[in-house]
Structure 1
């Protein structure tokens, strides 16, 4: 009987490893084929520009060196390591580099995700969670620093939950992950906060006699993790920088990815949520109290901020995996030494060969459909230095060497500056537009052609429209300009 059980566990362990391997390979291949989708965010441009600056100067930025409104103001790039990685990948292979790097990180995250779930759940159930998580993460799968932190997020949370399931403290070596995470992305703060509920879960379920010693080990682990998070070029200031982002107040809801979840149209989030509620009601699935608090906290984050849906997608299933396995009667499968390393090596080599082969067939480039390429070319010809730009244009301006008024580094500009700019460009407060134009001695504006501010400047004396296309319009400060019913576009020769 012992031999039979051992063989079964070994077979299950190998199947577990193979499922994770195939999930990772499938995700990587899919992202490589649709690689241009990873370059759909204009923020990728300035992230690479900052990474190139760090490589060239062999230092991390301490102050802003890009905008003209905040130049010299204190600014920390807490994503510096990810920016360097993307910049190095771009130098080596052009836009193929960031695509491959992002796809590999995402694939690794989903492979780890599948591996951790399959230790508790059947393959079919694991695949359901993998597909749901991929769909929820899809809108935010972009070549940006956060995706390089995805594997660490999964490994870190998986390690904490596994320790809680075993009613033990996590291995101290796990704190190395938080040190790496703190240099890749500000989301490491979430990882630190998650220690508390994981520790509480372990303590609640531990024997009363063991709780004091267990609490001390968790407290020591938390202290080591906190110290490890200071292992960045900025020290503990990296924590302060992350807190600065979270304290942007009224500015956060104005940024698309920080907006609350929108259920006006049926989407993956609502579908997954309804299916989960239906399953729990139909089968009477119950969670331990602390796991309920964890899940509700993750759900609150996802409802409050659209970008947190990916955290719910990758963390939520790890939280409920062990209770769900107990509910369904599935025995946990322990990790087995001797996983199919030869198969893994063969798959990785095949993916590498496929990547090299695809470079001659697939070409990658950022989506410039909404980018003011032609307008910025004209703007540079005018040789202006003080330009009021649309928020979404800031990243492209940085990448082309033009100092923006504002860009995606919202924590640099602060809540009031960002809110005032938004109110000015949208004419929620028209006086704000004229105040910004005056206070910052603006020489020209580069705003979306369909924006309210652009339409107003078409009819304001002292501003001449000198360029316009479907994306952006340039208005030049010109004291002698007089508005007409249909403003004339000054020709390039005039």
Structure 2
């Protein structure tokens, strides 16, 4: 709960804002937008959504309670993820206290990944899928579990298109089980679960186009979005998350747990290719590590280790509580250092705004009457447009040509473009704050 409050206190993810606006638009028209309605640089071009269901959920929350409602709904998804992780740890034989301790000890590296965005759905969906696959393998009403896998995948893919991750986990689980004679019966059941997962994944508005959509998002994001880049071994946080995952994988292999071995193998490989998979890797590792530590601390000689783990996790809990208390006063507030709320209100009506990548989504939520030049839908705009906009914001190239069609400019005050426009008599500075300076054509 303190971790949820800490993350809900400030909205810092630029995707959140345009996703809320898209959800509102979807509910208003009762259909998915097929072309871009938000920009003046790509207006009317085909647009494929990869999280339409999530957009509707946060849009409905916004209608009910504004941005605080959005923050609280996303916090609820985080709580649900924690609950399923703890249930999984119990199924694997962990003691309640050890499961709580491991979850608390890993929470500091998870904090940056728990912002209000559709990736939260992936976290809870993967853990629910693992529980269902455990039932399939153990033979606990397996065909009910197989049906549930298909239903969970259908829900997941319509909330966020990353559901193909679940198909890979189910398929590898079936493959591992089929390689051993004693587990082939469970392997055949997992093959059925894989088929159900694939069928559920195809139950989306774009059908088989999900595969090309996923590939295009990866291609368009790898050069401009940090979380789509390969793992950086020089990053302490990334390295710690990877080591937690590898520790869980080693334990799962030793336990001959096909489900968690598959999940940790898939997410380890995925994390090496794109670091956005790292939090899924850590969450899948927590139940396995907690169960292993429970076994290690079962005898008297290991009670000292047990007490140390509990004491450190208690210290982490106290620290999270202390850090989260101030957030209670501003739940759902956009990060004031990134999003210039007062400046955005000064944008002239129906102006075509040239803006930075980060602020675009905030502008189109707060000022739906204006069109932006770009926002964080990098898979829609493409790498070339995103990089061209960044060069212009640095003040490089032909500024006059780059701003053709724009009546307003909203960029960081320290940017090269802001410096050039300050000295340009054809532009006037209307308002400025740390998050952005607004220039209007004279």
TM-score by shorter chain over 0.5: yes
Which residue in 2 is equivalent to 1:414? 382
Match status 1:423 vs 2:395: no
CA displacement 1:234-291 (0-9 Å, x = unmatched): 333344322321122xx42422433455666754x5446567879999x9x9576987
CA distance in 2, matches of 1:294, 1:318: 12
Is the contact between residue 86 and residue 287 of structure 2 (CA under 8 Å) also seen in structure 1?
A: no
Instruction: Tell me the SS of whatever aligns to 1:371.
Output: coil
CA distance in 2, matches of 1:33, 1:154: 22
CA distance in 1, matches of 2:285, 2:411: 41
CA pair 272-327 structure 1, distance change in 2 beyond 3 A: same
1:365 to 332, 336, 341: 332
Shift in Å, 1:134: 2.7
CA distance in 1, matches of 2:9, 2:270: 25
- Taking the TM superposition and a 5 Å limit, the aligned residue runs for 1:298-447 are 298-317=267-286, 324=292, 364-369=331-336, 370-380=338-348, 383-385=350-352, 387-399=353-365, 400-401=367-368, 402-426=370-394, 430-431=396-397, 436-438=402-404, 441-447=405-411
Q: RMSD across aligned C-alpha pairs, in angstroms?
A: 3.7
CA distance in 1, matches of 2:32, 2:246: 46
Gaps of 5+ in 2: 299-324
Which residue in 1 is equivalent to 2:416? 452
CA distance in 1, matches of 2:346, 2:401: 26
Which residue in 2 is equivalent to 1:59? 31
Instruction: Tell me the SS of whatever aligns to 1:446.
Output: strand
Match status 1:241 vs 2:213: yes
CA distance in 2, matches of 1:231, 1:275: 34
CA distance in 1, matches of 2:206, 2:249: 45
Match status 1:199 vs 2:174: yes
Which residue in 2 is equivalent to 1:143? 116
Shift in Å, 1:69: 1.6
Q: Which has the higher contact order (CA 8 A, sep 6+)?
A: 2
**Equivalences, count:** 406
Instruction: Tell me the SS of whatever aligns to 2:333.
Output: coil
CA distance in 1, matches of 2:262, 2:153: 23
Is the contact between residue 38 and residue 364 of structure 2 (CA under 8 Å) also seen in structure 1?
A: yes
Shift in Å, 1:317: 3.8
Which residue in 2 is equivalent to 1:76? 48
Which residue in 2 is equivalent to 1:354? none
Gaps of 5+ in 1: 1-26, 331-357, 479-494
Is the contact between residue 178 and residue 191 of structure 1 (CA under 8 Å) also seen in structure 2?
A: yes
Which residue in 2 is equivalent to 1:93? 65
Instruction: Tell me the SS of whatever aligns to 1:474.
Output: strand
**TM-score, scaled to structure 1:** 0.70
CA displacement 1:348-382 (0-9 Å, x = unmatched): xxxxxxxxxx9xx855332241212233223225x
Is the contact between residue 136 and residue 309 of structure 1 (CA under 8 Å) also seen in structure 2?
A: no
**TM-score, scaled to structure 2:** 0.78
Instruction: Tell me the SS of whatever aligns to 2:438.
Output: strand
